[in-house]
Copies of this chain bind each other. A is one copy, B any other.
Amino acid sequence: MRSLEIKNSTSSDEIKALRLITALKTPYLPDGRFDLEAYDALMNMQIINGAEAVIVGGTTGEGHLMSWDEHIMLIGHTVNCFGGSIKVIGNTGSNSTREAIHASEQGFAIGMHAALHINPYYGKTSLEGLVAHLEAVLSMGPSIIYNVPSRTGQDIPPSVIQQLAQHANMAGVKECVGNKRVKEYTDQDIVVWSGNDDECHDSRWGFGATGVISVTSNLVPGLMHELMFGGSNTKLNSKLLPLIDWLFREPNPIGINTALAQLGVVRPVFRLPYVPLSLARRIEFVNIVKEIGREHFVGNKDVQVLDDDDFILVGRY
């Protein structure tokens, strides 16, 4: 199914150079379908404020709540409308090798610049199985491996990453295990993006990380850009930590979904099993926005505290 004609065919080196990658939120219409107008607006906010790439349908973008045809369509839409201005990284990983192969083949065929691959969460497998899984997809194009044991139930050990790092398409690792692990990789010239917004400043400036794959940059892309490009800046980092702390009080993307709705840039629609943060937390967010400054956040409406009744939760869509 390979094509020789993929427009803007991307090398691993281009991916390795990215510092600010946003794990983009997917906004919904009241019936649960994608709200592409809101999505496009979010994309433009990212581009204007300096994000260099987006993850489409990551855990933040709720790829696990999409059918594959929705997911691939969203990648294709993003490539078609924004692929000239920003790198598009499709989360075409899966705990099923069949699905990862199929989705990655389709994603590269429609022009995504790189794939994000997860180890087989929930089903899990042996290290030999993990390597077989990742080797089945690495040949297709530039790929980032994502290690997040708190979600997958299984750490990807350095031995596996070192083995895969020989592959020309292996761009690097999105690592959530901590800065000791980050340093272990960067000491060996393996590219790392921090997967933890609260650690990413130190990862970048103290442990050799190339950048961050960020949730927080959905909200304050300009500040996250400053954090990744402007040199060590503990003052800015400290200013952001209360926001980051607030975002991850419940499993992501519950916080970011609530926040973007209160900023008026997405409709307050949740696909189950996600539900909004409590009223108390929603009030906290408004205060955090005021503390940091509304002007640093996306959108230009007043931030507001939404009522419980403002939210729409959809189970069938």
Contacts and interface: CB of A to CB of B under 8 A. Distances in A.
How many chain copies does the complex carry? 4
Contact of A275 (B1, B128, B315): B128
B130 A3 contact: no
Interface residues of A, number: 76
A95 to B, nearest CB: 6
| 10 A-B pairs closest in CB distance | A76-B76, A97-B272, A76-B110, A133-B273, A80-B111, A124-B251, A3-B36, A5-B81, A5-B40, A126-B250
29 contacts: A1-B33, A2-B36, A3-B37, A3-B40, A3-B77, A5-B36, A64-B122, A65-B123, A72-B73, A73-B109, A76-B76, A76-B109, A76-B110, A76-B111, A77-B110, A97-B272, A97-B315, A98-B315, A98-B316, A110-B110, A121-B153, A123-B273, A126-B274, A126-B277, A129-B254, A132-B275, A133-B272, A136-B272, A153-B153
Given A97-B273, A154-B251, 15 more contacts: A1-B33, A4-B37, A4-B40, A5-B44, A5-B81, A64-B122, A65-B97, A76-B111, A77-B111, A97-B315, A121-B151, A122-B122, A123-B151, A124-B151, A125-B251
